[in-house]
Structure 1
Amino acid sequence: MNDAYRVYDNPLIGRYASREMAERWGPQRKFQTWRRLWLALAETEAELGLTTDDGVTPRIQPAQLEALAKHLDDIDFAAADQYENKLRHDVMAHIHALGDVCPEARDIVHLGATSCYVTDNTDLILMREGLDQLILTLANVIDALARFAEQWRNEPTLGFTHFQPAQLTTVGKRATLWAYEFVLDLQELENRRNQLPFRGTKGTTGTQASFLALFHGDHAKVRELDRRVSEKMGFSRTFPVTGQTYSRKIDSQIVESLAGIGQSASKWGCDLRLLAHRQEIDEPFGSNQIGSSAMAYKRNPMRAERMCGLSRYLMGLPAIAAETAATQWFERTLDDSSTRRLVIPQAFLAADAVLRLALNLARGLIVNTPIIAKGVAEAIPYMATENLLMAAVAQGGDRQELHEIIRMHSRDVTLSIKAGQGSSLDLLTKLQAEPSFQQVDFAKVVNPHDFIGRSPEQVLEFIDAEIQPIRERYAQHLNQQAEVRV
């Protein structure tokens, strides 16, 4: 038997998330980023004139930097694993593995740094890249939902409060409610991404003491080292202060923002599942897709259900990140390491999986207009009674008498429907037969489009005010593929 089938396979990797997001959090990407950080540190120390104790001799030679630059990606994972089994320290293991293939630069790797120089800074780099990817997918979801909303902005549909029939809205107007929650998520992710600082070169407990010693007490060079390394790694801001680690509150805030995507997607997914039950809107369904192994006729909202399930998992992760942030001791404690290895990558993988499903759904929804129209027709007699009342009053009728006639017929028709007899249309028939309503134009009063308010206009105004700026910001990226696996 293939050994790959003997151990647990993380479904986020095997079934749900994109390959791009999975590779971002994989060992190759992680440890090659460590090596780039070591190179950036050594390069910058050399640029700032780091010398030996004599204050004259350059501590770092160009040939050493050239050697490091040649070994950024050729990671010997087997050797690193052997070192870690011996040393029980992952950072030192990879320092030794790099030193083996780059012996001439062994003594300048990690010079003055603490483990969190590579671990924390790498996490910040990967989180920022992950936010970039999620932002682009989210922009595509918003664009697709807005197109759906515009297409169906004039289609009357029954609105619900408490999942009980309420006033009419339109299919498109309802879609703006879904889209707007994702717009709020986009704003949050953009803010987190743009405000994300770098840990930089803060030293062992955040005091920069080791670097101050290396630069013989030159505070200006230590500050410049922090700035330049951060800039080399693409960050314009650094944390103003850190302990050994940057504040784990940053992790908590980012995971919370990702969980917001889960909130929006789950709300939308629940709506789609309810609409699928009413047969008003269907999600994409493959020609060979099977809904049930027993009930061959079934057409289940599988994508929406999966989106809701993954969202539930995603929404559960912030509690762990918050607890981690709340239990850090003084300058740091190591109980954060194991949980961060789980929570941070999986939050990004889950958010990626949720948005891939959301994009697939948004681009493939099927609107069943006859079913929707039937639902509207069944509900509108009740909704039209106020308009009928006003129309009859305008013809000279007594409002209180008319109100009582409507109340009695409404009650009788409702009781008949609950008894399995008749339909809501009987209410209009009964009212039309009343002498007090003989002069009322029923066809005019019960036109569904007279009950949707400003829904069509609101859709266009929403797109103009909220969606168009997003489309302009991400114009070159609104063509993302929407396929999902399994």
Structure 2
Amino acid sequence: MLSLKALSVLDGRYSKAIESLTEIFSEYGLIRYRIHVETEWLKFLSTDLKLFEIDEAAISLIDAILENFDHKAASRVKEIESSTNHDVKAVEYYIKEQLEQVGLLSIREWVHFACTSDDINNTAYAMMVKDGRAVVLESLSLLIEKIEEKAKLYKALPMMSRTHGQPATPTTAGKEFINFAWRLDRERELIQNCSIQAKINGATGNYNAHYFVFPEIDWIAASERFLSHKLGLEPLIYTTQINPNAYLAYILHAMVRSAAVVVDFDRDMWGYISLGYFRQMLKKGETGSSTMPHKVNPIDFENSEGNMGVAISLMEHLAVKLQKSRFQRDLSDSTVLRSLGSLFGYYLIGLKSALRGLGKIAIDEKRLEEDLDANPELLAEPFQTAMRVYGEENPYERLKELTRGRRIGKDELEKFVNGLQKIPEPFKERMRTLTPAGYTGLAETLVDTYFKKKGQP
């Protein structure tokens, strides 16, 4: 049951929607990632750099510190932190405590060797982002897939466009869906392919302590091996005490753009529902309005838009702020990084809400047909284009006089076509038989082209 006293909707009303993120971005998750980095570094010092000797049994005992980590263990780390008043130091002391309990007291002081806190923190956050990215990409990919399904289903269904909210050149419903699929797919690819970077190079990024005690070791190469081979991250070697977070800004800016596309999609769907182009499927027991029982509100698209707006605000702030630090280090980044889970949470809610809304709609073909039939003036565009080709005088101006600011009928258009002097009769017949529903250009072909480029039938 959700907490009625939760300060954040992420921990209250929307907690179920973001369950997949809680193990990653929670305080528990952060502690676990820190322990992962610390224990892998401890093993690396022995197995790769040969600074001390441990056998396979000892390695298994070190691995067990992470494998056996649970909420009780996390509580113990927080208990230590209450004394140290330092979160990373508390993790170090916890690992030393665990080593002592299994008889590995001799390697105790190799824990956190030559590391500054941000060596552990930035690497932990990098692993956190890597896992969190996988979660949101799953929902983003599903949204794209569902939009693509609608595009295929409605690729040949004529629909009147609206530019500036006014009747405009016809399209197909499927082509309008594919526009959003293409935009989202581009951002998904950028989010997916961005390498995630980390550093483990000491207090000001120069390997000072490392080099002082072991000058014979190539510490630059060693840190690159550790980060890339052991943790699957891209190594950074040019830093201050902290990670400059360029990778995070890159991912977040791509997420901002994808969120903006989702908001655009939400608003268009909201608009098409209000026009009657889409019907919403009813759910037994739901209420649309406390006073107007007839209403079926597009609440899912509205929820998506609102939550994506919050996500965008957080993402924009973090993307810019986390690339700034006073001199070699200040702690303003540390408190801001703790909001990573919030922005991923709002972003995920936005995706899931849009998906839910998309799953509730069905197109009203009759309503689309009515709007097309009611606006024959849409043919002013192809007619004046044909008049230009065949040398008719003042084509744009003549059609403007005929159609601007008023509704005309099919008979008026046919009379206009009959009065043209230079267009050949066979082409005039094409003009007479053209309808707004038949004037969709290559909309259907564009949908097919999208899927061909993706290697889909």
TM over 0.5: yes
Q: For residues 304 and 455 of structure 2, what CA distance do their matches in structure 1 show? A: 26
Matches within 5 A, 1:232-247: 232-235=229-232, 237-247=234-244
In the comparison of the two structures, how many residue pairs are matched? 442
TM-score normalised by structure 1 residue count: 0.80
Q: For residues 347 and 407 of structure 1, what CA distance do their matches in structure 2 show? A: 50
1:145, 1:363 within 8 Å by CA — same for their partners in 2? no
Name the counterpart of 1:382.
377
Q: For residues 389 and 210 of structure 1, what CA distance do their matches in structure 2 show? A: 77
* TM-aligned CA deviation for residue 442 of structure 1: 9.6
> Secondary structure of 1:289's partner?
coil
Name the counterpart of 1:204.
203
Name the counterpart of 1:112.
114
Matches within 5 A, 1:143-154: 143-154=145-156
1:371 to 367, 370, 384: 367
Matches within 5 A, 1:53-202: 58=52, 64-72=58-66, 73-74=69-70, 75-103=72-100, 104-105=104-105, 106-192=108-194, 195-199=195-199, 201-202=200-201
Matches within 5 A, 1:262-411: 262-283=259-280, 285-325=282-322, 327-342=324-339, 344-379=340-375, 381-385=376-380, 410=403
After superposition, the C-alpha distances for 1:181-213 in whole angstroms (9 at most, x for unaligned) are 102211221232xx22232x3122211122224
Q: Once structures 1 and 2 are overlaid, which stretch shifts more, 361-370 or 59-68? A: 59-68
> Secondary structure of 1:5's partner?
coil
2:26, 2:341 within 8 Å by CA — same for their partners in 1? no
Name the counterpart of 1:459.
447
Q: For residues 314 and 292 of structure 1, what CA distance do their matches in structure 2 show? A: 27
After superposition, the C-alpha distances for 1:306-356 in whole angstroms (9 at most, x for unaligned) are 1111111122124422442353022211111111111x2222222222222
Q: For residues 153 and 385 of structure 1, what CA distance do their matches in structure 2 show? A: 24
Name the counterpart of 1:468.
455
Q: For residues 384 and 125 of structure 2, what CA distance do their matches in structure 1 show? A: 66
Where does structure 2 lack aligned partners over 5 or more consecutive residues?
none
Q: For residues 87 and 383 of structure 1, what CA distance do their matches in structure 2 show? A: 73
Q: For residues 33 and 386 of structure 2, what CA distance do their matches in structure 1 show? A: 74
Q: For residues 442 and 236 of structure 1, what CA distance do their matches in structure 2 show? A: 62
Q: For residues 227 and 392 of structure 1, what CA distance do their matches in structure 2 show? A: 68
Q: For residues 289 and 130 of structure 2, what CA distance do their matches in structure 1 show? A: 41
> Secondary structure of 1:347's partner?
helix
* TM-aligned CA deviation for residue 386 of structure 1: 6.2
**Letter aligned with residue 35 of structure 2:** R
**Letter aligned with residue 298 of structure 1:** K
2:279, 2:362 within 8 Å by CA — same for their partners in 1? yes
Matches within 5 A, 1:39-50: 39-50=39-50
* TM-aligned CA deviation for residue 9 of structure 1: 3.6
1:155, 1:172 within 8 Å by CA — same for their partners in 2? yes
Q: Once structures 1 and 2 are overlaid, which stretch shifts more, 384-393 or 31-40? A: 384-393
Name the counterpart of 2:19.
19
Q: For residues 428 and 457 of structure 1, what CA distance do their matches in structure 2 show? A: 28
Name the counterpart of 1:36.
36
Q: Once structures 1 and 2 are overlaid, which stretch shifts more, 435-444 or 173-182? A: 435-444
| Percent identical | 16
Q: For residues 268 and 46 of structure 1, what CA distance do their matches in structure 2 show? A: 53
**Letter aligned with residue 11 of structure 1:** L
Q: For residues 296 and 76 of structure 2, what CA distance do their matches in structure 1 show? A: 52
Q: Once structures 1 and 2 are overlaid, which stretch shifts more, 131-140 or 252-261? A: 131-140
> Secondary structure of 1:176's partner?
helix
2:25, 2:341 within 8 Å by CA — same for their partners in 1? yes
1:259, 1:317 within 8 Å by CA — same for their partners in 2? no
Q: Once structures 1 and 2 are overlaid, which stretch shifts more, 322-331 or 306-315? A: 322-331
Q: For residues 206 and 390 of structure 1, what CA distance do their matches in structure 2 show? A: 65
> Secondary structure of 1:166's partner?
strand
Where does structure 1 lack aligned partners over 5 or more consecutive residues?
52-57, 415-423, 472-486
After superposition, the C-alpha distances for 1:438-472 in whole angstroms (9 at most, x for unaligned) are 9986995243343101111111012211x437x9x
TM-score normalised by structure 2 residue count: 0.85
1:185 and 1:388, CA in 2 relative to 1: closer, same or farther beyond 3 A?
closer
**Letter aligned with residue 219 of structure 1:** I
1:232 and 1:159, CA in 2 relative to 1: closer, same or farther beyond 3 A?
same
Q: For residues 442 and 224 of structure 1, what CA distance do their matches in structure 2 show? A: 72
Q: For residues 446 and 272 of structure 1, what CA distance do their matches in structure 2 show? A: 29
2:197, 2:236 within 8 Å by CA — same for their partners in 1? yes
1:7 and 1:401, CA in 2 relative to 1: closer, same or farther beyond 3 A?
closer
**Letter aligned with residue 455 of structure 2:** Q
Q: For residues 301 and 353 of structure 2, what CA distance do their matches in structure 1 show? A: 8
Greater RCO, 1 or 2 (C-alpha within 8 Å, sep 6+): 1
1:409 and 1:29, CA in 2 relative to 1: closer, same or farther beyond 3 A?
closer
1:175 and 1:7, CA in 2 relative to 1: closer, same or farther beyond 3 A?
closer
